[in-house]
Amino acid sequence: MKYRKLLVSELNRLSCEEFDSAIKTPIAIVLDNIRSQYNIGSIFRTCDALLVEKIMLCGISATPQSAEIHKTALGAEDTMKWEYFKNTADAVNQLKRDNYVLVAIEQAESSIMLNDFAIRSNCKYALVFGNEVKGIQQEVVNLCDFCVEIPQFGTKHSLNIAVSAGIALWDFFCKLKEPSSDGK
């Protein structure tokens, strides 16, 4: 079988207006003190691709007016809804009030491996990602309902934050879209 690459005009991309009115995947992202604007831009782009509801930028995380964010977001900073919070705990507490299930994506004692984490199709999820060096603040981990870890088998046990976000988002997206989800 031969494959022909699709032209940009054949990708069925949504316009900004269509994106805004599209049914979103019930996921919010919390970025706890992300220092790299390129990582933030990449996460914006991934969130756009998977129709994520919103991004909460916290602490030292830059906001989309940055040229570095635009370089990797490629315009997704214009379609994704986002909010800025000086304190990550404030963002997490707002999401709790809005009935999101809070999931820290972090290596921690008693964490649940991503592949073993069961999704409830009737829930909204907020995935929290931490600083490239220090991870998620312990105070914020303590506020979360679950701690989920991406299995790793090599010598580093460390993934780039944008890669971690892509892996976790894809897993949650697929599990939420499974027709066999029973809502438990």
- Structural domains in the chain, CATH included, are 13-177 (3.40.1280.10)
pLDDT at position 57, please?
98
Tell me which DSSP letter residue 110 carries: T
- The stretch 100-128 carries a mean pLDDT of 96
- pLDDT for residue 71 is more than 50: yes
Check pLDDT > 90 for residue 183.
Answer: no
Query: Distance (Å, rounded) from C-alpha 165 to C-alpha 2?
Result: 32
pTM: 0.94
pLDDT interval class at 180 (50, 70, 90): low
Check residue 102 and give its pLDDT.
98
Strands laid side by side in the 52-58 sheet: 81-85, 52-58, 25-32, 124-130, 100-105, 146-149, 112-113
